[in-house]
């Protein structure tokens, strides 16, 4: 079910430190301009890349990524956009469950791909304000001798006043768009219960591995 996403997005960044490094973002003021979002992304990538190069054990790595996702990735926004209009019809408990399962699945799917001693080389382009409180930052990322075009889309959380990543676009392929194409047929056929069941099975398999 999730093979198309793996085969389209992450071949462009096999050293998945590139993707997960994007999750760590610094705190900003509520009126932060787009340049502050850029500065936060730079600091976050440096922080996470350094931590991952310490080569934590697999269990410790998963805990680290759990923490980073919970703190720095707007996964409720990501999940809502990936599910699409059907999100409005879900119960709050279903929304919470799907957000939790989706974030954990992404972590466990890609945690075993993270490695390498050298930090990725990142060239940051000029950020673009998509709308107030939402910014896209295009970059060129070189890792393991290959260069990828990766854009990070950030949201300003009005509660925590922190910029957080809600989408990653690698070589023109959006994380949200990929999962939307997979979630749509499940939601239409089996509703929220079917999607929850599918994510639980995928998470169990990823955790076992």
In tens, the pLDDT along 94-151 reads: 999 999 999 888 877 766 555 556 677 889 998 999 999 999 999 998 887 889 999 9
CB-neighbour burial class of residue 104 (10 A; exposed 0-12, middle 13-18, buried 19+): buried
Examine the pLDDT at 32 and tell me if it is beyond 50: no
Q: For the segment 190-205, what is each residue's pLDDT rounded down to a tens digit?
A: 999 999 999 999 988 8
Q: What is the pLDDT of residues 58-107, one digit of tens each?
A: 677 777 777 777 777 889 999 999 999 999 999 999 999 999 999 888 87
The average confidence (pLDDT) of the chain is 79
Per-residue pLDDT tens over the stretch 143-191: 878 899 999 999 998 888 888 899 999 999 999 999 999 999 999 999 9
Fold for domain 3-208?
Nuclear Transport Factor 2; Chain: A, (3.10.450)
> pTM value?
0.77
pLDDT tens, 44-55? 777 777 777 776
Assign 18 a pLDDT band (cuts: 50, 70, 90). Answer: very low
Task: Work out the pLDDT band at 11, boundaries 50, 70, 90.
Answer: very low
Provide the pLDDT confidence category of residue 35 given band limits of 50, 70 and 90: confident
DSSP class per residue in the chain: --HHHHHHTGGGGSSTHHHHHTT---B--TT--HHHHHHHHHHHHHHHHHHHTT---HHHHHHHHHHHHHHHB-HHHHHHHHHGGGGGGS-HHHHHHHHHHHHHHHHHHHGGG---SSPPEEEE---EEEETTEEEEEEEEEETTEEEEEEEEEEEETTTTEEEEEEEEETTEEHHHHHHHHHHHHHHHHHHHHHHHHHHHHHHHHHH-
């Amino acid at each position: 079910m999730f093979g198309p996403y793996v085969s389209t997005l992450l071949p462009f960044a096999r050293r998945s430190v590139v993707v997960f490094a994007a999750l760590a973002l610094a705190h900003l003021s509520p009126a932060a301009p787009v340049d502050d979002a850029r500065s936060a992304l730079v600091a976050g990538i440096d922080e996470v890349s350094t931590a991952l190069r310490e080569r934590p054990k697999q269990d410790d790595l998963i805990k680290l990524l759990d923490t980073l996702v919970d703190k720095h990735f707007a996964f409720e926004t990501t999940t809502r956009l990936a599910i699409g209009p059907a999100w409005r019809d879900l119960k709050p408990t279903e929304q919470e469950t799907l957000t939790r399962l989706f974030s954990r699945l992404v972590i466990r799917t890609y945690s075993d791909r993270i490695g390498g001693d050298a930090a990725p080389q990142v060239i940051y382009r000029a950020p673009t304000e998509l709308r107030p409180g939402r910014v896209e930052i295009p970059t060129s990322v070189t890792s393991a001798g290959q260069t990828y075009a990766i854009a990070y889309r950030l949201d300003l959380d009005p509660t925590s006043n922190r910029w957080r990543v809600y989408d990653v676009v690698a070589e023109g392929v959006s994380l949200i768009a990929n999962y939307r194409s997979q979630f749509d047929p499940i939601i239409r056929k089996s509703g929220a219960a079917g999607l929850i069941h599918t994510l639980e099975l995928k998470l169990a398999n990823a955790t076992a591995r």
